[in-house]
Amino acid sequence: MSRSARELIIKLFFFACALVSILVLGLIVIFLFMEGLPVFHAVSPGDFLFGLEWYPTYDPPSFGIWPLIVGSLVVTLFASLIAIPLGIFAAIYISELASPPVKELFKPVIELLAGLPSVVLGFLGMAVIAPWLQETFDIPTGLNILNASVILAFMAIPTIASISEDAIYAVPQEFKEASYALGATKFETTMRVIIPAALSGISTAVILGMARAIGETMVVLMVAGGAAVIPESIFDSVRPMPASIAAEMGEAPFRSNHYHALFATGMVLFFLTLAFNLVADYVSHKFKEVGSATL
């Protein structure tokens, strides 16, 4: 075999390996559809998505996942309210305020937070925060939106902090120097020069952080309380989509409507997070700065 032919074969082999990710993504879609679509023999897509009642084991069962969707969105929203400011502040701290030794220490701490297994954080919510909430606020259960949101926020903080930090770090040094030369304070430079210049990266960070929160399973399974109803206060229990799938798949009879309905819920969850990721990708490319001159 000639050398160039061998090189070509090697190149094709590497190319095939690079395609594996796309292949897996495709297989995920195929198998979600294969196992999920049959539920639409039993319920129309409209009733499935917007039905208010999730009673999969009743006779007759009702498969409306609107309360699950609302549950997912509510915990994600409240988690974001906590995680976005904390995450961005952490990024500003690392890149603008921390002295080099503190920085060397603080960055691994954030990474360790990212590495904490979700089941451990879920346990924390169940065994420590829930009893405390229950007692302090005198509510029937501490397993509720507030508890789940706080813990989800801590899962989203590392994503938001590290991607925002990258974005802030990438802002050219000249921008800062120019701002200081005009007499701006460090605060004014941060708020009016650095943050606006890093905004696309920070937006990407926020979107990916929210995607992380919406797809997180163990925390909402253990801490959100599991009530499949539309919540009325932050002390109500909810049943976000991942919690419903994880809790019920073990009991759903194989290839029953319930089983298919859980796969269909997985489809909804998948496309929701896919949308978040595609938007993040679009934002980070659309507003990418190329060199300092183009801004």
Partner 1 sequence: MMRWRYLKQTLFFTIVRAAALVIALSIFVFIAYIVFKGYRVISWDFLTLPPTDSMTKGGIMPAILGTFYLTAGAIAIALPLGVTAAVYLSEYAGQGGLLRIIRIGINCLAGVPSIVFGLFGLGLFVVFLKFGSCILSGSLTLGFLILPTIIGASEESLKAVPQTFREASLGLGVSKWQTISRIVLPAALPGILTGSILGVGRAAGETAPIMFTAAAFFTVKLPSSIFDEVMALPYHVYVLATAGTHIEKTRPIQFGTILVLIALVLGIDLIAIIIRSRIRKQKRW
Q: Which of 217, 265, 249 is nearest to 40 (CA)?
A: 265
Nearer to partner 1, 72 or 231 (CB): 72
Q: Which of 14, 293, 19 is nearest to 175 (CA)?
A: 293
Minimum distance, C-beta of residue 246 to partner 1, in the bound complex (Å): 6
Asked whether 133 and 142 are in contact (CB, 8 A), the reply is yes
Nearer to partner 1, 60 or 280 (CB): 280
> What is the three-state SS of 59-103?
CCCEECCHHHHHHHHHHHHHHHHHHHHHHHHHHHHHHHHCCHHHH
Position of tokens 């995680």? 83
**Separation of alpha carbons 279 and 206, rounded Å:** 11
Minimum distance, C-beta of residue 18 to partner 1, in the bound complex (Å): 4
Nearer to partner 1, 59 or 216 (CB): 216
Minimum distance, C-beta of residue 238 to partner 1, in the bound complex (Å): 16
Nearer to partner 1, 70 or 210 (CB): 210
Nearer to partner 1, 177 or 281 (CB): 281
Nearer to partner 1, 43 or 95 (CB): 95
Q: Which helix (H) or strand (E) holds 122?
A: helix 118-124
Tokens of 126: 């169940």
Q: Which helix (H) or strand (E) holds 54?
A: strand 54-55
Burial class (CB in 10 A: 0-12, 13-18, 19+), 253: exposed
Minimum distance, C-beta of residue 270 to partner 1, in the bound complex (Å): 5
Nearer to partner 1, 148 or 245 (CB): 245
Asked whether 56 and 68 are in contact (CB, 8 A), the reply is no
**Separation of alpha carbons 166 and 201, rounded Å:** 8
Tokens of 185: 């304070």
Q: How many CB atoms lie within 10 A of CB 146?
A: 20
Provide the residue type at 254 as one letter. F
User: Helix 257-286 to helix 241-248 angle, to the nearest 10 degrees?
Assistant: 140
Nearer to partner 1, 60 or 285 (CB): 285
